[in-house]
Homo-oligomer: A and B are copies of this chain.
Amino acid sequence: MVRVTITQVAVHAGVSVASASRALNGQIASAKTIAKVQQAAEELGYVADATAQSLKLGRTNQLAYAVADIGNPVYVEMMTAIERVVSASGYRLVLSSTGTSSSSVDVVRDLGRGYVDGMILSPLRVTDELLAALAKTPTPVVVLGRLPDSAKLDTVRADSITAMRLLVDHLVEEGRGDVVFVNGPSDTTPGALRRDGFAAAVAAHPAISARSVGADDFTIAAGYAAALQVLQERPRPDAIVAANDLIGIGSIQAATDLGLTVPGDIAITGVDNTELAGVIRPGLTSVDLGAEERGRVAAQLLLARIVEPNRPAHTVTVAPSLVVRGSSLARSQDPAASPPSHRTEAIDFNDERAAR
């Protein structure tokens, strides 16, 4: 089956290509012409070539989502939300992995080739080079993450400060007073932000004692190793705030292997509220950074900018919400009392204080 062009449709219908195009696109044309052309298109199985249309119309109906590590559940959640918005608006979504071959900078430079009408970028780290490339690109870009204010770009960010404060406040309310933050690598953007957020949160509670340690990675194994060490120090802390759910799960396993009960001997919390947090026993209390909402908002910002290229840059901060499960309840409570988690409606403290 070879390509059938609008020219063939036109001759088959006995009209000019212009009339054929108009008839097919609902432009002005006589009823008779429309009928003839539509029948001819039908008979020949005509479908308009997307590339030719793109060239002529100056838009591709494609948007890109560029992220370092697709496969990371948080990014997948964002992607799913983005895909929903994007496809509902008639755009296709192309995936640009910045991890494999090309860096964020290359990806942004490549935007100049015009293969998409816009991009949502979730950069690993923000370099001057990247900022320069972003400033120069003619294609709209929405950035997921933190950017210097000088960059006049649409941005969607999580609120790590509030997120960590939700966790620390919760632990204090549950009677904990000696908290250790188990971070991932702090030279990454999330690592740095969560560490700072934790520091700010504990500063608001002068009565408690707190410190930070670093795991080698944002993984279960690294969290296990770090927690194993933390839990063997004396005096033993009564709470671990893990920088993400994987580290939190590793910490729970370390505690269990040491014969400690969670939350009896030690309270443990995570960040990201992944599916894992609900599956493990006890359920892992976790703060949800709103990945789904961030993805959705980013997509909406991008669509809005495409419609109106010169609107002022928006920065949206998505409010985190605390999801309390068994791993952080007060010692006094009976952990066995917590019902099976798949039926549990986890308590959700949606925080209204977060910046809008």
List the interface of chain A (C-beta within 8 A of B).
Answer: 1-3, 45, 47-52, 54-55, 60, 62, 70-71, 76-77, 79-80, 83-84, 87-88, 92-97, 100-101, 109-110, 112-115, 136-138, 220-221, 224, 249-250, 253, 256-257, 275-276, 279-281, 340-343
Contact = CB atoms under 8 A, between A and B. Distances in A.
Contacts of A221: 342-343
A62 B51 CA distance: 12
A60 B342 CA distance: 45
A173 to B, nearest CB: 28
A220 B280 contact: no
Nearest to A75: B76
Contacts of A101: 87-88
A48 to B, nearest CB: 7
Given A83-B70, A87-B101, A279 B276 contact: yes
Given A70-B79, A88-B101, A136 B1 contact: yes
B100 A83 contact: yes
B92 A94 contact: yes
A248 to B, nearest CB: 11
Given A95-B83, A97-B87, A114 B51 contact: yes
Given A224-B342, A280-B280, A51 B60 contact: yes
Contacts of A109: 47
